[in-house]
Amino acid sequence: MRRPALYSSSPPRADATGAAIVDAPSVATAPSGALPARRAKRWLPRASDPRVLWLAIGLLALSLLLVIGLLLRPANRKLTQEDIDAAVLKTLETNTLPSAAAKAYEVIAPSVVRVVSYEIGVNGRDEIETGVGTGVVIVDKGIILTNLHVVNGAELIKVVFADGMESKATIKSVQPENDLAVLQAHKIPDDMIAATMRSTHDLMPGDQVVAVGFPFGIGPSASSGVVSGLKRSFRSPEGKQEMTNLIQFDAAANPGNSGGPLVTMDGQVVGIVTAILNPSHQRTFIGIGFAVPIENAASAVGLHPF
C-alpha cells in the first residue's frame, strides 16, 4: 500500500559523522496532558494584567447601576376612590349613555305586539279593520294580554310580533271587570321572548314608568312619566263600567295604547294600560292614564307569580 508522504517543518540536523539526527516527537516525551495545560495558561491573563483591573471595575459599576435603578423605581400606587371617580366622570363626559327610559324600552320591546281586530265583509272574504290596540306576550308559547275592549266583538284578530311576523289569534279567556282579554297566537317567532312581570306591592307615587304601545296605530311608541297614584277608580265614558284598584300614571297614552304594558325602568311589567281620563270628545291625552295592576292581569291567565 502506498503511504502518504510525511513532511517536517525544518530540515534534519546531522551529527559529527554526518548521520542525520532524527528528533523524537516532543509529544511522545511530554507528560500526558502537558500540551493543553500550556495552551490554557497562554489565554488566562495574570492578576497584574491591567485588563483584569478594568474588567473588575466594569462589573462593579454595572452592579451599582442595577442597585440604584431598583431603589429609584416607583412603587405601584394603589387606586383610590378619587381615581375611580375621576375615571367615571371622564367616561360620562366623553360618552353619551342611553336614558333609563331607553333601557326599559329595549327590554320590553321584543314582547310587545300590535293587536288588530277585524270584521268580515258580507262576501265572507273582505277583512275590515275595526280597531287597533296593543298586547304584551306574558308566556313564550304565544299567550298575550290585551284589553277586552280592543278585541270585543271582533270576527278576526291578528297580532304582529316585534320581528314583523303576523299571526291570527283567538280569545282564550276574558276578565270583564278589569277589561282584560287573554289571546293565544296561532304561530309565534322561534325566538319569542315573554315579558317579565313584577309585583306592584312596592310601587310608589313618583316612581318612573314607561308606557309602550301603538297610539293611533303608530308604533311601537314609548312615552315616559311617573306613577301619579295608586288604588284609583275609573268609570268608562258611557258609564257602563267602573274599575277600581288602578295605577294612575302620567306617561303619554292615547287610543291604541290600550292593552300595552306599563313598565318600570328595568323593563318589567307592573300594569296593563287600559284607559285615559278624557272629559272632552277629542280623545286626546290630558296627563292622566290608568293601568290594571299586573297581579289582576296575571290572574286572568291563571298565573300567580307573586
Annotated catalytic residue, options 111, 117, 228, 258: 258
**What pLDDT was estimated at residue 240?**
73
Q: Choose the final residue of a domain: 146, 170, 185.
A: 185
pTM over 0.75: no
Give the largest CA-CA distance in the chain: 158
Q: In sequence order, which residues have a C-beta less than 8 Å from that of residue 270 and are 6 or more positions away?
A: 197, 198, 199, 200, 203, 209, 247, 262, 263, 264, 291, 293, 294
State pLDDT tens for residues 123-167: 988 999 999 999 999 999 999 999 999 999 999 999 999 999 999
Catalytic residue among 111, 117, 149, 250: 149
pLDDT digits (tens, 9 = 90+) for 37-49: 444 454 555 656 6
Cβ neighbors of 176 (< 8 A, separation 6 or more) are 148, 241
pLDDT of residue 112: 98
Examine the residue annotation and report whether 258 is marked as an active-site residue of this protein: yes
**Residue 56 is assigned to a structural domain of this protein:** no
At CA 105, angle to CA 188 and CA 231, rounded to 5? Answer: 100
What is the tally of structural domains in the chain? 2
Catalytic, 140? Answer no
Residue type, 203: L
Residue ranges making up the domain that contains 171:
109-185
**For position 136, which CATH number holds?**
2.40.10.10
- The residue annotated as part of the active site, out of 179, 221, 223, 228, is 179
CA of residue 108 relative to chain centroid, distance: 15
- Which spans in 7-80 are helix H? 26-29, 34-43, 50-72
Residue 153 lies in a domain: yes
Which amino acid appears at position 196 of this protein?
T
Is it true that the peptide bond before 50 is cis, omega within 30 degrees of 0? no
